[in-house]
Amino acid sequence: MKKISNVIKKDWGILFLIFVGFALGVYFYPSLPNRIPMNWNSNGQINGYGSKFFGAFGLALINLGVYLLFIVLPYIDPKRKNYEAFQSTYQYLKYLLIIFFLGIEAYSLLIATGTIANTPDFTQIMVSLLFILLGNVMGRFKFNYFVVIKTPWTLADEKVWRKTHRMAGPIWVIGGIVNIVLTVIGVTFNGIAFIIILAVMVVVPIVYSYIIYHKIVDAN
């Protein structure tokens, strides 16, 4: 495993994005109201608010916490050696989540200051793109105890892990695309469509991992 200091040096782009998040908070803080939109329901409508301080810096702090967690995980995972085999994909995942939270932070700050109006479609599309981009690399993740799909059966057998992730990737991509299409054409059904899509994306891989595990166990 590489030294943590060497990993951090390589992550200068990610650290810059985290810095941008804090810089946005500093820039917008004087013009922020006391209540900041911080949560959106399945329709993309605001249903939760935070304090002025948390609204300005909360997501930037979350981004920093997520990054630190990504740094630590390869060193505490019993399967730490496998991280070398999907290092580029792991780096991709770090960038993906950091950019996602930064986008949500910028969006909430622009809404809070009245620069833009809340557009429910934005959060739906952002989440859908996250599903698509994650699903696109799902099959590249190697066996580990922390990242992506973790069920008792994927964690019990490396072959089950591999088959489950290869199967789940296309489902996540299709789910994200379907949700974007439904969002664009205005089919929300009060969030029911999104909940169904999310349920399929979560439940199908779980059931599949259970079935494949028992097929492998029974065969042996």
Q: What's the pLDDT at 184?
A: 85
* pLDDT at residue 42 greater than cutoff 90: no
| Sequence spans of domains, the chain | 1-118, 119-220
Residue 107 CA to residue 69 CA, distance in Å, equals: 24
Residue 27 CA to residue 25 CA, distance in Å, equals: 5
Among the residue ranges 114-123, 147-156, 205-214, the one predicted with the least confidence is 114-123
Q: What's the pLDDT at 203?
A: 96
- Mean pLDDT (the chain, rounded): 89
Percent pLDDT > 70 in the chain is 94
Provide the pLDDT confidence category of residue 160 given band limits of 50, 70 and 90.
Answer: very high
* pLDDT at residue 37 greater than cutoff 80: no
Encode pLDDT of 110-147 as tens digits.
988 888 877 778 888 999 999 999 999 999 999 999 99
DSSP per residue, 21-53: HHHHHHHHGGG--SEEEEEE-TTS-EEEEEEHH
Provide the pLDDT confidence category of residue 220 given band limits of 50, 70 and 90.
Answer: low
Q: Answer for the pair 161, 147: CB distance below 8 angstroms, yes or no.
A: no
Q: What is the mean pLDDT of residues 103-116?
A: 88
